[in-house]
């Protein structure tokens, strides 16, 4: 990992050399969610001066439940956004030319967490149960999984009842659902904090079920990639951001503190952010920023097989991603 960090540092330095005499270029990054360790790499890159090293002045805009990254970039409010591929591809099919330029997250953190006392120990126990599922594009890995298992999701006999879950763990704690959607780095910890133990739970990781979809990629508008100056700016941004991510992987506690320093809301806590960063490091591990085409295709296949209402109706192909930026950033 240290070797990769060094390589990213050299790549960033080389990119800086071409424009060292120029004023710093402005970059606005829109996050998918609120300030937390899920986005530590960007805050670290800013805090440690990695963006400064490549002549970038980066503004990081937190997200939230009422902020859609695709809408922000469509309205000119950001140069680059963090988004999950399901929602990005849905926006693309609706006409917004979002293109993945980098994929810092190699693995998915999404899981279905179940209480053993609900009678669920294997997927064969799902029929007849109520399962909490996030919507707004997050439901498609679940629907694809149920489709592969042959389990109806319309509440019919032999199927499951789908509970539209909010971003909390109350349905599991209050017995409203046998299982709920959780992320390895967030809601699962909330379940444990509420008093349930790992021994009382059964966890199904979407990654293990073969239906995971790519999370937290970097997306820009395709038309901007026709501008060499923009490509150069994004290459410097990706190089510095990945340097930040590798630093965060190696220094999770320090990275969590940097995130807390940037949490204007004051809502985050030290213990939660340290735990989150340690889990996030498992998801970014193994990525140098470049999208793996096989991971992209697995995601697309999952989105296309989401039952009667798939998130997309056609494979967008290679037009939806590019290695142009990461090739320039990492070579």
Is 260:123 a contact under the CB 8 Å cutoff? no
Q: Which residue has the tokens 């990119």?
A: 15
pLDDT for position 1:
45
pLDDT for position 147:
86
List beta partners, residue 221: 98
pLDDT for position 151:
93
Q: Is 2-107+213-330 assigned to CATH 3.40.190.10?
A: yes
pLDDT for position 8:
56
Q: Give the E-state strand segments of 74-168 in sequence order.
A: 80-83, 98-102, 110-115, 130-133, 161-164
Q: What angle do CA 264, 56, 33 make, to 5 degrees?
A: 35
Q: Which residue has the tokens 């179940």?
A: 114
Average pLDDT rounded to a whole number, residues 132-138: 84
Sign of CA dihedral 22, 242, 327, 220: negative
pLDDT for position 307:
61
pLDDT above 70 as % of the chain:
92
Is 281:273 a contact under the CB 8 Å cutoff? no
Q: Which residue has the higher pLDDT, 134 or 5?
A: 134
In whole angstroms, give the CA distance from residue 175 to residue 8. Answer: 48
pTM to 2 decimal places: 0.89
pLDDT for position 141:
83
Give the residue extent of every domain in the chain: 2-107+213-330, 110-209
Q: Over the chain, what is the mean pLDDT?
A: 92
Average pLDDT rounded to a whole number, residues 254-274: 96
pLDDT for position 273:
97
Is 97:230 a contact under the CB 8 Å cutoff? no
pLDDT per position as a tens digit, 5-16 = 445 554 555 554
List beta partners, residue 179: 114, 131
Split at pLDDT 50, 70, 90, the class of 2 is very low
Average pLDDT rounded to a whole number, residues 210-237: 96
Calculate the CA 186 to chain-centre distance: 12
Residue 44 has pLDDT above 50, yes or no: yes
pLDDT per position as a tens digit, 280-290 = 999 999 999 99
Helices within the chain (DSSP H only) = 2-18, 40-47, 50-53, 69-74, 85-93, 140-149, 170-173, 187-193, 206-209, 228-250, 252-261, 270-284, 293-304, 324-330
Picking from 89, 91, 71, 85, the residue whose alpha carbon sits closest to that of residue 30 is 71
In whole angstroms, give the CA distance from residue 15 to residue 235. Answer: 8
In whole angstroms, give the CA distance from residue 246 to residue 251. Answer: 9
110-209 CATH, one of 3.50.50.60, 1.10.10.10, 3.20.20.70, 3.40.190.10? 3.40.190.10
Is 100:321 a contact under the CB 8 Å cutoff? yes
pLDDT for position 312:
87
Q: Which two tokens stand for residue 224?
A: 């901007």
Average pLDDT rounded to a whole number, residues 266-275: 95
pLDDT for position 14:
52
In whole angstroms, give the CA distance from residue 183 to residue 1. Answer: 25
Q: Do 2-107+213-330 and 110-209 show the same overall fold?
A: yes
pLDDT per position as a tens digit, 81-127 = 999 998 899 999 999 999 999 999 999 999 999 999 999 999 999 99
Q: What Å distances lie between residue 277 and 161, 192, 195, 269, 299, CA to CA?
A: 33, 17, 22, 12, 24
Give the phi and the psi of residue 67 in degrees, each rounded to 5: -120, 120
Q: Give all strands of the β-sheet with 179-183 in edge-to-edge order.
A: 161-164, 130-133, 179-183, 110-115, 201-205
pLDDT for position 15:
55
């Amino acid at each position: 990992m240290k070797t990769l960090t060094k390589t990213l540092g050299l790549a960033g330095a080389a990119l800086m050399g071409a424009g060292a005499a120029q004023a710093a270029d402005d970059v606005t990054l829109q996050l998918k969610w609120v300030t937390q360790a899920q986005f530590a790499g960007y805050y670290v890159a800013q805090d440690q001066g990695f963006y400064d090293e490549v002549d970038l002045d980066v503004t990081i805009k937190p997200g939230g439940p009422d902020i859609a990254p695709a809408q922000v970039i469509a309205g000119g409010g950001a140069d680059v956004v963090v988004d999950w591929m399901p929602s990005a591809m849905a926006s693309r099919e609706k006409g917004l030319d979002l293109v993945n330029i980098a994929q810092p997250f190699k693995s998915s953190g999404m899981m279905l967490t179940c209480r053993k006392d609900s009678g669920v120990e294997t997927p064969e126990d799902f029929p007849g149960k109520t399962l909490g599922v996030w919507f707004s594009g997050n439901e498609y890995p679940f629907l694809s999984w149920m489709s592969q298992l042959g389990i109806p999701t319309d509440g019919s006999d032999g199927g499951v009842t789908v509970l539209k879950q909010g971003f909390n763990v109350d349905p599991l704690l209050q017995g409203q659902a046998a299982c709920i959607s959780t992320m390895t780095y967030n809601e699962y910890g909330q379940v444990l904090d509420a008093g349930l133990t790992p021994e009382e739970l059964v966890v199904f990781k979407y990654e293990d079920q073969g239906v995971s979809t790519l999370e937290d990629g970097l997306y820009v508008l395709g038309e901007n990639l026709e501008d060499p100056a923009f490509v150069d700016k994004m290459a410097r941004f990706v190089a510095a951001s990945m340097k930040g991510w590798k630093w965060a992987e190696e220094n999770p506690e320090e990275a969590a503190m940097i995130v807390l320093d940037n949490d204007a809301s004051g809502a985050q806590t030290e213990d939660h952010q340290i735990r989150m960063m340690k889990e996030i490091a498992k998801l970014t591990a193994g990525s140098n920023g470049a999208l793996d085409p096989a991971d992209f295709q697995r995601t697309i296949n999952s989105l296309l097989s989401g039952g009667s209402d798939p998130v997309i109706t056609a494979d967008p192909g290679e037009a939806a991603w590019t290695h142009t930026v990461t090739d320039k950033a990492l070579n």
